[in-house]
Amino acid sequence: MSNREFSLPDVGEGLTEAEIVAWKVAEGETVTVNQVLVEIETAKSLVELPSPFAGVVTHLLVGEGVMVDVGTPIIRVADAAAPAGNGSPAHEVADAAEGAAPATDALAGSAVTEEPAIDSGADTIADTAASIAADDDKPGAVLVGYGLKGHVASRRNRQAAAGAPTARPARPSSVPAASASTIIAKPPIRKLAKDLGVDLSVVQATGLAGEITRDDVVREASQASLFRNIETPSWAADREERIPVKGVRKAIASTMVASAFAAPHVSLFVDVDATRTMEFVKRLKNSSDFAGIKVSPLLIMAKAMIWAVRRNPTANAQWTDDEIIVKHYVNFGIAAATPRGLIVPNIKEAQDLTLIDLARAIEQLTITARDGKTQPAAMTGGTITITNIGVFGMDTGTPILNSDEVAIVALGTIKQKPWVVDGEVRPRFVTTLGASFDHRVVDGDVASRFLADVASIIEEPALLLD
């Protein structure tokens, strides 16, 4: 014996509810298909609802005078024909077609899940109908009663199926391969470039789709505005310009002289395949942990140098005439070219910082320096320094040691060059690491090992997983 429910249908093209006015049958009563069950009142009119089922009324689910939404079950009828052992699901009650939950399902309307006994006449046809009625279940096609209520708005479960369009395609399909324009930049970026006076054709694009990003433009602009001549002015009218030596310029000069001519500088260079560092940087940029934090190869270089210091402690030292002080902490200096001149603020205790904290510290240091707000305390006590001349567009150079330090590394441009991988020439991101050392403290072997260590991290950042 199975129970079936009849839910309130939308009888008037868009009705959302109706009031039960009068039941025409009682619980326990036997009903036939099409027998009038109930009178309802809709917004439009008084309507009689005929029974979709034949059977015995087990429950009147809604009382007279009650207003219910379309899709609400209003009556339960037990199957009268009950063909024995027909294997029909025992409980269609809670299991109306297509998994509808009453009143909240989008498929509002009567939930007829089984072939009702074809019993439209009141007389002897009942038996005939029972034999006519198919024993197999026909899932009640649900329906067209379409209440407007009962549509629970919910987002369908979108899978990122292989091959299905994902949120960020590798290449926008709208950009055909044979595009005549090789510069891919969104309109806001084009405007930014124009405002900053940046020529998009020389900007290195780092966007996922090969597009030039805002960072790319700003980077180029920073270089352009600070370190690259944008235009060729006409010759000055004066024959000479005399700039007094004072302030920052005087300080820089004296520091340079002291460093350059006191410490015997030796420079080493190594070319490195930095592809994995570039990939690592990209992945960090995409990770939610690093959202909103500036990540660049400089960060990896900092970590590499700190790691190399652990392995080559004497590169992180200070010469005094009496003793060489090898420091077991790293106050990591970053040379910063500001419009007012060169400064080298350092990040204190950099060896204790996590990658993410180091990234934040570098960003903070850079912003502060750019804003001209670096405090004097930040510029003293450094133990090792990096100078980023890649932003200048330079491949490498011979940096001058910072005061009281014995090693300085120059990070140049990282760009695609032919490289041999597994016997084949392939484009890889290649950079030249340059470093200068104080030969009073650091001999060639230590210098080489130190720089080799730095290079090995750049080549394989996973080695940092110590």
Partner 1 sequence: MSELITNTDAPHHAGSRDGEAQRRRRESSATELPLARAINAGLQQAMRDNPKVLLMGEDIGPLGGVFRVTEGLQAEFGANRVLDTPLAESGIVGTAIGLAMRGYRPVCEIQFDGFIFPGFDQITSQLAKMTNRHEGQLQMPVVIRVPYGGHIGAVEHHQESPEAYFAHTPGLRLVSPSTPNDAYWMIQEAIASNDPVMFFEPKSRYWHKGPVDLSGSAAPLHASRVVRTGNEVTLVGHGAMVTVLLQAAELAASEGTSVEVIDLRSLSPIDYAPIVGSVQKTGRLVVASEAPGFVGISSEIAATVTEKAFYSLQAPVLRVTGFDTPFPPAKLETIYLPDADRVLEAVDRAMAY
Partner 2 sequence: MAESDRMVQLLSADGVLQTEGPAAEYLPYIERLGDDELRQFHRDMVVVRRFDIEAANLQRQGQLGLWVPSMGQEAAQVGSARAARDHDHIFPAYREHAVALVRGVDLLGIIQLLRGTTHGGWNPAASKNFHLYTLVIASQTLHATGYAMGIALDGLHATGNPDTDEAVMVYFGDGSMSQGDLNEALVFAASYQTPQVFFLQNNHWAISVPVSVQSRIPLYRRAAGFGIPAVQVDGNDVLASFAVTARGLDEARGGEGPRFIEALTYRIGAHTSSDDPTKYRTDAELQSWVARDPITRFETWLRSRGEGDAFFSEVDEEAEDFAADIRARTYELGTPSTDKIFDHVYSEPHPVTAAQKSWLDGYEESMGSDA
Among 16, 120, 222, 338, binds partner 2 (CB under 8 A): 120
Q: Closest separation between CB of residue 174 and partner 1, Å?
A: 5
* Chosen from partner 1, partner 2, none, partner binding at 185 (C-beta under 5 to 8 Å by type): partner 1
Q: Closest separation between CB of residue 83 and partner 2, Å?
A: 15
> Mask of contacts with partner 1, 195-214, x by CB under 8 A?
----------------x---
Q: Interface with partner 2 includes 109 (CB under 8 A)?
A: yes
Q: Interface with partner 1 includes 174 (CB under 8 A)?
A: yes
Q: Interface with partner 1 includes 176 (CB under 8 A)?
A: yes
Candidate ranges 115-123, 293-301, 385-393, 432-440; the one touching partner 2 (CB under 8 A): 115-123
Distant-in-sequence, close-in-space partners of 336: CB < 8 Å, separation ≥ 6: 342, 343, 344, 345, 365, 366, 369, 370, 374
- 113-116: Cβ within 8 A, 24+ apart: 113/4, 113/89, 113/137, 113/139, 113/140, 114/2, 114/4, 114/79, 114/88, 114/138, 114/140, 116/4, 116/33, 116/52, 116/53, 116/54
In terms of C-beta density within 10 A (0-12 exposed, 13-18 middle, 19 or more buried), how is residue 98 classed?
middle
d(CA 365, CA 333): 10
Cβ count near 178 (within 10 Å): 5
Residues that bind partner 1 (rule: CB under 8 A) add up to a total of 13
Nearest residue to 8 (alpha-carbon basis) of 41, 33, 31: 41
Q: Closest separation between CB of residue 208 and partner 1, Å?
A: 13
d(CA 453, CA 208): 30
Candidate ranges 45-53, 182-190, 271-279, 366-374; the one touching partner 1 (CB under 8 A): 182-190
If the CB atoms of residues 15 and 192 are measured against partner 1, the closer one turns out to be: 192
Q: Which of 59, 151, 265, 439 is catalytic?
A: 439
Q: What do you get for the CA distance between the two ends of the chain, in Å?
A: 70
Contact status, residue 54 vs residue 25, Cβ threshold 8 Å:
no
**Catalytic (active site) residue 439:** yes
Q: Interface with partner 1 includes 175 (CB under 8 A)?
A: yes
Among 3, 72, 110, 277, binds partner 2 (CB under 8 A): 110
Question: Which two three-digit tokens encode residue 402?
Answer: 């910072």
Distant-in-sequence, close-in-space partners of 245: CB < 8 Å, separation ≥ 6: 253
Among 124, 181, 234, 288, binds partner 1 (CB under 8 A): 181
Ranges within 45-64 binding partner 2 (CB under 8 A): 45-52
Q: Interface with partner 1 includes 187 (CB under 8 A)?
A: yes
Q: Closest separation between CB of residue 211 and partner 1, Å?
A: 7
422 to 346, 426, 460: CA distances (angstroms): 40, 9, 16
DSSP β-bridge partners for residue 418: 427
Contact status, residue 316 vs residue 384, Cβ threshold 8 Å:
yes
Query: At what angle are helices 297-311 and 275-286 packed, to 10 degrees?
Result: 120
Q: Closest separation between CB of residue 110 and partner 2, Å?
A: 4
Ranges within 233-292 binding partner 1 (CB under 8 A): none
* Contact footprint for partner 1 (CB under 8 A): 172, 174-176, 179-181, 184-187, 190, 211
* Contact footprint for partner 2 (CB under 8 A): 6-7, 9-13, 33-34, 44-52, 109-110, 112, 115-116, 118, 120-121, 125, 129, 132, 134, 138, 140-141, 143-146, 156-161, 164-165
Q: Which positions are annotated as active-site residues?
A: 439
